Amino acid sequence: MSTSLIVRRDLDFLLHDWLKIESLAAQQRHADLTRESVDAMLDLSEKLAREHFLTHYKRADVEEPRLDADGVHICPEVTQALRQYAEVGLFSAGFSPDLGGSGLPYLLTSASFAYFAAANVATSGYAMLTVANARLIVSFGSSAQIETFARPQIDGRWFGTMCLSEPQAGSSLGDVRTRAEPAGADELGERYRLTGNKMWISGGDQDASENIVHLVLAKVPGADGRLPEGTAGLSLFIVPKILPDGSRNDVGVAGLNHKMGYRGTANCLLNFGEHGGAIGWRVGQPGLGLMQMFQMMNEARIGVGLGAAALGYRGHRLSVTYARERLQGRAIGVRTGAPVPLIEHADVKRMLLAQKAYAEGALALCLYCAKLVDEEGNAGSAELLGLLTPVAKTWPSEYGLAANDIAIQIHGGYGYTRDFDVEQLLRDNRLNPIHEGTTGIQAIDLLGRKILRDSGRGMAELGRRMIDTTARSQGVPEFAPHAAALKRAVTQINDSLAPLRQQVANAAFDNATPFLWAFGHVVVAWLWLEQAVAARSLDVKTTDERTFIDGKLRACRYFFECELPKIDAWLGVVASRTDVASGAPPEIF
Amino acid sequence: MSTSLIVRRDLDFLLHDWLKIESLAAQQRHADLTRESVDAMLDLSEKLAREHFLTHYKRADVEEPRLDADGVHICPEVTQALRQYAEVGLFSAGFSPDLGGSGLPYLLTSASFAYFAAANVATSGYAMLTVANARLIVSFGSSAQIETFARPQIDGRWFGTMCLSEPQAGSSLGDVRTRAEPAGADELGERYRLTGNKMWISGGDQDASENIVHLVLAKVPGADGRLPEGTAGLSLFIVPKILPDGSRNDVGVAGLNHKMGYRGTANCLLNFGEHGGAIGWRVGQPGLGLMQMFQMMNEARIGVGLGAAALGYRGHRLSVTYARERLQGRAIGVRTGAPVPLIEHADVKRMLLAQKAYAEGALALCLYCAKLVDEEGNAGSAELLGLLTPVAKTWPSEYGLAANDIAIQIHGGYGYTRDFDVEQLLRDNRLNPIHEGTTGIQAIDLLGRKILRDSGRGMAELGRRMIDTTARSQGVPEFAPHAAALKRAVTQINDSLAPLRQQVANAAFDNATPFLWAFGHVVVAWLWLEQAVAARSLDVKTTDERTFIDGKLRACRYFFECELPKIDAWLGVVASRTDVASGAPPEIF
């Protein structure tokens, strides 16, 4: 039997037994949702991911996109896979029927996407960006813009990009210098001529889609011809590669970035307006570009986390297969007889259990957040989603990567070769702590915008849900120590925050990253307890089912025994308000 | 100014101010050692590493060794660099004058090697293996063997390999199946015909040296024609690629391994004896092969740690340079004005300080152990070296790698491209937790052979030296909390060991890896306090010197405030004697 991309029983457990996806059918827009429709979607996704995405995982890593006078050429299997993805309606799955979609909840399209990211994150990247781009136009664009630029993406005929960064403006978008000069208006809205350079543009050019829709953050100069400072002057523009009249827009590929991983995704430096200005249409009101981007950011960030979780998950499954098959060594002290499978060794089991806790914990976190997206109308859900988004972005990025690192270790020397997938999984996953906001940026977002400067509703909602979990776990003796540990951890988090609430703004952020680490571990511990409670409440009909439940319970126990205690060291740093790093004079380095 | 490979002031500090290298001149064999001779060696090494090793770091990664009918061809710059290395006498530097060497202490050749590993670990690998091979022959071979096989390696004309692993026998050397049939004797000793496959052979073939000396672990069949079980039947054989009569030996290259990193080092699957048996000469007594290898293992393992430390160190230096030059963002809350260098941001300083603590801590650990090699005659030194060797192998491998991971993060998107060296440094370093005994194997070695089954002399010597350090630090108020924390940590270590000493053998190893992590952190904390005490006692003559001392003191403080507290979680796992991992039934995965 081949190795699972994502274990279907696990996904069924998360969606049905734990998150009760069918409860979303109570919402008018998801009235058609049934167990059967969910099953069909997952069946389709798994099959397509395995047959059309996994198959060129290695090849697209080796045969990188290349640039010639005609533009960027990508591996033909990537194009073929994305055509299949369009054909079965996966670009449109999450859009409402009036836009040609199937109106599936975000939770379900996320579960579907996990298969594709596990199989081939670089090829899936084109789809993720296209869907995000179309969703942004649907949210903020005019009907003409939606019809012209979003619909072909929803159909999967055109692909989309997000053009935010510039060579000199990565995390600091206020420093964007791309310039948009007003140039009249037409049925597509206010027209502009754009000039500037955009860096790190995934899918910036390729030969897979009929057209490419770039969403570009740029600034409109003031009366004095100067660009406004900071992020307030940013507006959002639609800049297609090919204009509606069929002519080429003034968008050039200055070069391809050659990356450590994610190599199947063409990543470009784009030049806008080298020949007079690229034509673009403004989306929504001027000056709201970053706000519009941020409204979409929750989903993009959960998408990054989900991709990272899927990569970690696949590394775990490959490790399990390898550890069952590879014979090496014997029990300690035994020197003769046949060698045993790796999976018999205590230290290998420790590594597999850590991977399981990381990969399944990360997937659970991302799907939990995806369900919050579907619940955004509910009181508290939106605030909780805001609070958990930096965690959903970073925790899977850091611990999915850790799971990939362990996968190499379990495979030993073989894992270090390119004959196995695990080294590529690590290279691919290494991008995730960087893009869509680095871990350090997420830490400031969590501590600043989502906690210290927030009304407190996100934290209050989290607290309520945690209390609910511990209440449901209290009847079960084996969960009592976990529930107690979770309560203690929440108290520690709150205690470490207390002095920060009084402290001057900047120093409060000195140890934002250790705070994020601790906060992330507490959230994941809570979700492991959630999973354990859900698993414990299942009817046990078969041995397989018993084993599945045992696995969930053991991973939960591992997390509480071996992982949660790590927060003491991190919160100790936060509580001490040490300036050992922030106060270091730069010249000591 | 270009970025340092290893900061010279730091190396001078470690060798002179801290480890008092000149005190080795008291040993007869190092009577010539002076400050000037040490300086000259370091000057030479730095210059050669920069001019001949660093220059092809990228190229040798891209142009991998290739195999054709003539054998393996490697990048010509690698050959050229190793010729230079031979020409200036670096292969021979550590050998005694009667073997054509300079008789330099291991501490000094290690410091020299750090430059080469930082510049190009893959090219340096050929030199490291050759020296280790020659040293083994010198230790255990006959004079004829030394003259014939070690001398040309000491001259750097021939290179050497270590042939231990086989496709089915990686960590488990008792399962080696390579067969050595007696075939007479000659002036080089007992002759054998060897047949078998050897995997992961670095430098297994190449076109850089005139000949290759393989040191091969193999088993001599018993009277019944069967190979003995376990490691007791392993003997060591010299199997040259080209025989003394100039004919080719029966050693074939079955294939090259294509690795994640370390690509400049040709890594081969070798077939011995496909055409009747490769001719080999036994080294020393039969059945002592593994013991002979192990006697050399201390140095090989410190060598791995040193390479890992050097890779982490170089990543740190590149990060410092990048963080000083790259302008991005502003202080929190500031939205206008010019962007500031990355190094101004608290979170970047946190990352740089962690790197510094890891990289400089790892280098200090390896050089400390190198000095123990030079002191091996002293009471306690040999036992302490045995105890610290698994730490010197693993801690730099894990934390040098962590420093390389941080280097990518500091470089952001640029660090993820192959235009910068940091992604390659990480790929190169990822080998180090695997080869020469994985982290899990080292953990068992530490806890079992070096602690539970040892006479206790290693631990006693460590305890004595730690008490000496805390005594020397007690007068300085800023060190008092560190000294107290170190004492507490030692107590925690001893407390966690107490129940293991009574426990049945196998279960004692259930959490050997978390124990190793904690033990490693305590050792490095101690060595940071050692460094801080040494730095504090320096005369401060210049601002640069003041800044250097401040850097050491701050990194020490960082380690005690932010790193040492992590041991609580790891030792908590050890002390609880949890079987959460070891007791997991394999089917739950």
* pLDDT for B91: 98
Q: B341 to chain A: which residues are within 8 Å by CB?
A: 586
* pLDDT for B365: 98
Average pLDDT estimate for B534-548:
95
For residue A458, pLDDT over 60 is answered with yes
Of B328, B356, B582, the CB nearest to A171: B328
* pLDDT for A428: 98
* pLDDT for A504: 64
- pLDDT tier at A294, thresholds 50, 70, 90: confident
- pLDDT tier at B1, thresholds 50, 70, 90: low
Orientation angle between helical segments A512-536 and A543-558, nearest 10 degrees: 150
The predicted-structure confidence for B99-135, as pLDDT tens digits, reads as follows: 999 999 999 999 999 999 999 999 999 999 999 999 9
In Å, what is the CA distance from B66 to each residue of A276, B73, B210, B264?
Answer: 49, 5, 18, 11
The predicted-structure confidence for B391-438, as pLDDT tens digits, reads as follows: 999 999 999 999 999 999 999 999 999 999 999 999 999 999 999 999
**Hey, where are the domains in chain A?**
8-154, 160-286, 288-437, 438-589
* pLDDT for B150: 98
Topology of domain B160-288 in CATH is Butyryl-CoA Dehydrogenase, subunit A; domain 2 (2.40.110)
Backbone angles phi, psi at B172, to 5 degrees: -100, 85
- Nearest-neighbour CA in chain B from A36: distance (Å): 27
Matching residue, tokens 């029990």:
A331
Q: B349 to chain A: which residues are within 8 Å by CB?
A: 581-582, 584, 586
Structure tokens at B270: 């070798």
Secondary structure string (H, E, C) spanning A476-534 = CHHHHHHHHHHHHHHHHHHHHHHHHHHCCHHHHCCCHHHHHHHHHHHHHHHHHHHHHHH
The predicted-structure confidence for A481-519, as pLDDT tens digits, reads as follows: 999 999 999 999 999 999 888 866 789 999 999 999 999
> By the 8 A CB rule, do B260 and B187 touch?
no
8 Å CB contact of B584 and A320: no
8 Å CB contact of A415 and B438: no
- pLDDT tier at B207, thresholds 50, 70, 90: very high
Structure tokens at B487: 């004492």
* pLDDT for B504: 64
Average pLDDT estimate for B36-57:
98
Q: A431 to chain B: which residues are within 8 Å by CB?
A: 416
* pLDDT for B298: 79
Residue of A nearest to B356 (CA): A589
- pLDDT tier at A209, thresholds 50, 70, 90: very high
- Listed range (A358-367, A372-381, A573-582, B209-218) with the worst mean pLDDT: A372-381
Domain covering A160-286 in this structure, CATH number? 2.40.110.20
- Listed range (A19-33, A370-384, A560-574, B111-125) with the worst mean pLDDT: A370-384
Backbone angles phi, psi at A262, to 5 degrees: 50, 35
More confident residue, B476 or B190: B190
Residue of A nearest to B333 (CA): A506
8 Å CB contact of B174 and A443: no
* pLDDT for A296: 76
Structure tokens at B182: 């007696």
Query: Please, which contacts does A545-553 make with residues 24 or more away whose CB atoms are closer than 8 Å?
Result: A547/B585, A547/B587, A547/B588, A548/A9, A548/A10, A548/A13, A550/B585, A550/B588, A551/A356, A551/B588, A551/B589, A552/A13, A552/A360, A553/A478
For residue B506, pLDDT over 90 is answered with no
> By the 8 A CB rule, do B6 and B15 touch?
no
Q: B343 to chain A: which residues are within 8 Å by CB?
A: 586, 589
Residue of B nearest to A173 (CA): B329
Q: How far is the C-alpha of A123 from the C-alpha of A265, rounded, in Å?
A: 6
Residues in chain B: 589
8 Å CB contact of A547 and B343: no
For residue A40, pLDDT over 70 is answered with yes
Q: What angle do CA A288, A291, A297 make, to 5 degrees?
A: 145
Residue of B nearest to A344 (CA): B586
- Give percent above pLDDT 90 in chain A: 93
A288-437: CATH, from 3.30.1180.20, 1.20.140.10, 3.40.50.300, 3.40.50.10490: 1.20.140.10
Of A341, A408, A550, the CB nearest to B588: A550
Average pLDDT estimate for B577-589:
97
For residue B503, pLDDT over 80 is answered with no
* pLDDT for B326: 97
Q: Where are the alpha helices (DSSP H) in B49-170?
A: 57-62, 76-87, 106-140, 143-145, 151-154
- pLDDT tier at A1, thresholds 50, 70, 90: low
* pLDDT for A136: 96
The predicted-structure confidence for A262-285, as pLDDT tens digits, reads as follows: 999 999 999 999 999 999 999 999
Q: B351 to chain A: which residues are within 8 Å by CB?
A: 440
- Nearest-neighbour CA in chain A from B182: distance (Å): 25
- pLDDT tier at B475, thresholds 50, 70, 90: confident
- pLDDT tier at A307, thresholds 50, 70, 90: very high
Q: Look up the ipTM and state it.
A: 0.98
- Nearest-neighbour CA in chain A from B580: distance (Å): 6
The predicted-structure confidence for A168-179, as pLDDT tens digits, reads as follows: 999 899 999 999
Residue of B nearest to A332 (CA): B506
Of A565, A573, A589, the CB nearest to B569: A565
- Give percent above pLDDT 70 in chain B: 99
- Give percent above pLDDT 90 in chain B: 93
Rg (CA), chain B: 24
Domain covering A8-154 in this structure, CATH number? 1.10.540.10
For residue B299, pLDDT over 90 is answered with no
Of A510, A569, A573, the CB nearest to B346: A510
Average pLDDT estimate for B199-210:
98
Q: B547 to chain A: which residues are within 8 Å by CB?
A: 585, 587-588
Topology of domain B289-437 in CATH is Butyryl-CoA Dehydrogenase, subunit A; domain 3 (1.20.140)
Of A199, A231, A573, the CB nearest to B561: A573
> By the 8 A CB rule, do B526 and B486 touch?
yes
Q: A61 to chain B: which residues are within 8 Å by CB?
A: none
In Å, what is the CA distance from B246 to each residue of B151, B210, B215?
Answer: 17, 11, 19
Matching residue, tokens 């976990």:
A482
The predicted-structure confidence for B305-349, as pLDDT tens digits, reads as follows: 999 999 999 999 999 999 999 999 999 888 889 999 999 999 999
* pLDDT for A76: 97
Q: Give the best residue of A197, A226, A350 to mutate against chain B (max B CB count within 10 A).
A: A350
Evaluate whether A160-286 and A288-437 have a shared fold: no
8 Å CB contact of B336 and A229: yes
Give one word for A538, left, alpha or beta, with left for phi > 0 and alpha for psi -120 to 50: beta
* pLDDT for A486: 98
